[in-house]
Chain A
Amino acid sequence: MKLIKKQIPLAIVLVFGTLTLLTYFVPHKRSVNFLETMNKWENIVAAFAFFLGLINLFYSHYTKISRKADGWGYSIFVYIGFLAIAIPAYVSHGKNMDGSVLTWMGWAFKYIYNPLSATMFAVLAFYIVSTAYKSFRIRSLQAFVLFAAAMFLILGNVPLGQMIWDKLFGWTSYAISDIVDWIMHVPAIAGKRGIMIGIAIGVVVTALKIIFGIERQYLGKD
């Protein structure tokens, strides 16, 4: 049992990991063919991964409703939202447009999913303003540097900010767009590149650990 529960899965990761890795360096026809088959498989397996999330969500809200947990009534709206898209999609055979006319699914996307999804993220704008007011405090030199970089960007990003800069600091003969350009292309690059190189090392080490079966948390418990 240990063989099929543990050793074969670990062998799969080792074999597929090593072979896929090798395709990067081997431009032979067989290597390309192997990678093409893997690409097709991966695409299909990744699609099933979504249903894992779907079942999980449905199950958790089903339990909430069946146990009449706090706010269980709202959980019904998860199913209503799902059907509000799924039924039009079925009717329209998964098509958004019929020529230049919206199908039922296109309609549901435009007027139901689109506003919900867009507003959820737009709400954050309010919090960023109030947080900037209530928590953005310059208490150290480091905070001042962060503040200065942010100010240049905020002002430099919009025409009104550029006009204010020209009025106040026009005499310096530096346009704010030049300063923003310099920040983005010199010190910010250094900061990000340091992080990037660090992450790359982390990814490479983790990938090796996965391929050789040292990292196996994703397998779950027995």
Chain B
Amino acid sequence: MLKEKLNALLRIDRRWIFLGLTVVLFGAIMRPLGLINKEISKDTRNAYDFMEKLPAGSFVILSLDYDPSTAPELNPQAVAVARHAFRKNLRVGVVTYAAGATGLIEQLFAVVPAEFKKEYGRDYIIFPYQPSAVAALTQMASDLYGIYDKDKDGKDAKSMPVMLGVKNYKNISLVVCIAGTQMPTYWVQYAGDKYGVPVMAGVTAISQPGYGPYLQKKQLKGLLGGMKGAAEYEHLIDTPGKGTSGIDALSLAHVMVVGLIIVSNIAMVILKYL
């Protein structure tokens, strides 16, 4: 009798599980639990500290290489990092090697710089998408205007005040690569390791464990992983955003998965040994 019930439980139509997940997540969005992520991982802290120590006016590259498919994880990271950079009065140059990112970048920078009264061309610049990341990264070692002669609107980049004194990696204080692709690896490979440019990254939670070796070797100065990384960074800059509200809603769904795995395994053990 028990065995039949357990068998039925294990063979439950997966659509019930889908429905359960929908209810859990949607419920948490409609009625937030109010949980705040207070644990800050070492890698996020390192990223924050590195940026915090940069002197005002330093030129920072933001390489935003994510498209809508990973935006819920990575856009909050990009917003938090951009806010931190603008608050520290750093000069920001935005590049991208993901074609789907251009729309997200423009929408992000239509909002965030205004919060800090930052002006396009004076405090930040957005460069157009380039199809070959390797070519662009290699080119930036000698003369970035070889590939980035114009900004996203086709205006001359070199003459903009934000680019004053910036020619190649020697003039770049930090690269922050927020990517749903292999881009952080390319930055480490083509800019960090070879030319000594400090690189840090924001990546999807899926790829986060893969960057451990670079962190240990200090090839990456810091790393934000997924929505948790965004929530942590938001906590550090004391400006809650989508990362903080998201991690609250994700809590229940995570506990649900743990519960399901444990229940199914207990059921399996009972069926096998009893």
B103 near A160 with CB under 8 A, answer no
Tell yes or no: A173 within 8 A of B by CB.
Answer: no
Interface of B is mostly: helix
Question: Interface segment, B38-46, B48-56, B158-166?
Answer: B38-46
Chain B 181-234 residues near chain A, CB threshold 8 A? 194, 205, 208-210, 212-213, 215-216, 226, 228
Residues of A within 8 A of B18 (CB): 126, 129-130
Residues of B within 8 A of A35 (CB): 138-139, 142
Residues of B within 8 A of A193 (CB): 212-213
Residues of A within 8 A of B194 (CB): 24
CB distance from A210 to the nearest CB of B (A): 15
B264 near A117 with CB under 8 A, answer no
Chain B 106-136 residues near chain A, CB threshold 8 A? 106-107, 110-111, 114, 130-132, 134-136
CB distance from A24 to the nearest CB of B (A): 8
Instruction: Determine which of A40, A120, A160, A184 lies in contact with B146 in the assembled complex, contact meaning CB atoms within 8 Å.
Output: A40
CB distance from B129 to the nearest CB of A (A): 10
Tell yes or no: A4 within 8 A of B by CB.
Answer: no
Tell yes or no: A221 within 8 A of B by CB.
Answer: no
Give 25 A-B contacts (CB < 8 Å), ordered by A residue: A32-B142, A40-B146, A43-B135, A46-B132, A50-B131, A96-B103, A96-B107, A110-B103, A114-B104, A126-B17, A129-B253, A129-B260, A130-B14, A132-B257, A133-B14, A133-B260, A133-B261, A134-B14, A137-B264, A158-B37, A158-B251, A158-B254, A159-B37, A161-B251, A196-B213
B260 near A36 with CB under 8 A, answer no
Binding site for A on B (CB under 8 A): 10, 14, 17-18, 21, 33, 35-39, 41-42, 67-72, 100, 102-104, 106-107, 110-111, 114, 130-132, 134-136, 138-139, 142-143, 146-147, 153, 194, 205, 208-210, 212-213, 215-216, 226, 228, 247-248, 250-258, 260-261, 263-265, 268
Please name the residue on chain A nearest to B137 by beta carbon: A39
Please name the residue on chain B nearest to A193 by beta carbon: B213
User: In the assembly, what is the distance between CA of A23 and CA of B106, in Å?
Assistant: 36
Supposing A32-B142, A132-B260, A154-B257 touch, asked if A159 and B131 sit within 8 A by C-beta, the answer is: no
User: In the assembly, what is the distance between CA of A74 and CA of B44, in Å?
Assistant: 46
B257 near A129 with CB under 8 A, answer yes
B264 near A133 with CB under 8 A, answer yes
Supposing A120-B69, A121-B70, A177-B41 touch, asked if A40 and B210 sit within 8 A by C-beta, the answer is: no
CB distance from B248 to the nearest CB of A (A): 7
A43 near B209 with CB under 8 A, answer no
Instruction: Determine which of B130, B215, B258 lies in contact with A43 in the assembled complex, contact meaning CB atoms within 8 Å.
Output: B130
Number of A residues with CB within 8 Å of any CB on chain B: 66
Supposing A134-B10, A177-B41 touch, asked if A189 and B212 sit within 8 A by C-beta, the answer is: yes
A192 near B213 with CB under 8 A, answer yes
Residues of A within 8 A of B265 (CB): 136-138
User: In the assembly, what is the distance between CA of A150 and CA of B55, in Å?
Assistant: 40
Residues of A within 8 A of B261 (CB): 132-133, 136, 147, 151
